[in-house]
Amino acid sequence: MPQPTSRDSHIDRAATNISIAYRNNTYIAEEVFPIVPSDKQSNLYFVFDKASWFRNRSGPRAPTTRAPRAVYELSASPYLCINDSLAYEIPDEVRNNADQPLRPDITAAEFVTDGLLLGLEKRVATLITACANWAAASNPGTLWSNANSDIWADVDTAVNAVVSSIGREPNVAIMGWPVWKAMRNHPDFVERVKYTRQTGRVEPEDLRSWFGFDRVLIGKAVENTANQGAAVSMSFVWGKHFWVGYVTDAPALDSPSAGYTFRWGNRTVERFRMDQEKTDVLAAEWYTSEKITASDAGAIFATAVA
């Protein structure tokens, strides 16, 4: 296959603009791990030691004596933004024979962009839902899909685990769609709204109010786990888990946050020509690294429903 030359390859501004604007509203990864722009592909981020900051450090000072001294430790942790990319080929025959309302170039830009977003969603969901990544992790004593379960007490336990570890209430709750279905139909929750709301439905806003969350995110993204050519096999990216954690509104030097997404540069779409194949290629890419930065800032109930 002939290699494209620099004359044949360029960043496609029109396609990149489509890529920037295109977003599936079921993706929540960037709300969980805020974006940290990076001026280098690899670098370090600083970590303040928790023990020093939570130790009682002040004390009385007598006249002519010095104030009590205290120290804190500072370490650094590395990250490396990996090039994540996806390309789609558009033969001339396809473009020239496309009927309205088909738009091969726009659809290709959206297709490769969605591939990057789904990949990001999968990576962040994998980090969030791994029990080993969090200081507080357990399974419900009774699955939440059981009407006799005590979801309220379980959620309160998870919230307390975060507060007792970092001194802050978790402000974000994340659950897979199967978990939300169980919660909104659970008799304990329905009982609280059935006389005060015409619909009688439990809404995410209720969980925010009851437990003090700023955001309640429901992972609705699905993926086809089957190989190419095999029968479609759909599953929920966020599984059957429930997670609470503290996530900063914006990256901050001295504030714990469950995780960050380090991003070197912007997402772009490159177009290049393969002349002998009479084909254009649209390739989307970004440099990204998703990391848990405070394992004690989150708590998870794994496999909360059947």
Q: 149-172 pLDDT, tens per residue?
A: 999 999 999 999 999 999 999 999
- The stretches in the chain having pLDDT less than 70 are 1-25
- Would you list the DSSP string of 97-113? TPPTT--HHHHHHHHHH
How much is the pLDDT for 20?
Answer: 56
Prediction pTM value: 0.87
How much is the pLDDT for 255?
Answer: 80
How much is the pLDDT for 249?
Answer: 86
1: exposed, middle or buried (Cβ count in 10 Å: 0-12, 13-18, 19+): exposed
Beta strands in 115-240 (DSSP E): 136-138, 172-176, 215-219, 222-224, 234-236
Q: 286-305 pLDDT, tens per residue?
A: 999 999 999 999 999 999 99
Going by C-alpha positions, the residue among 292, 241, 273 that lies closest to residue 138 is 241
d(CA 93, CA 104): 11
How much is the pLDDT for 276?
Answer: 94
d(CA 178, CA 175): 8
Task: For residue 241, give Cα distances in angstroms to 18, 56, 61, 89, 130.
Answer: 33, 36, 51, 37, 10
Assigned CATH topology for domain 6-40+79-301: phage-related protein like fold (3.90.1690)
Using alpha carbons only, give the angle 274, 271, 86 rounded to the nearest 5 degrees: 100
DSSP state, residue 68: P
d(CA 57, CA 75): 20
Domain extent listing, the chain: 6-40+79-301
Q: 89-102 pLDDT, tens per residue?
A: 999 999 888 777 77
How much is the pLDDT for 17?
Answer: 64
d(CA 138, CA 299): 9
How much is the pLDDT for 285?
Answer: 96
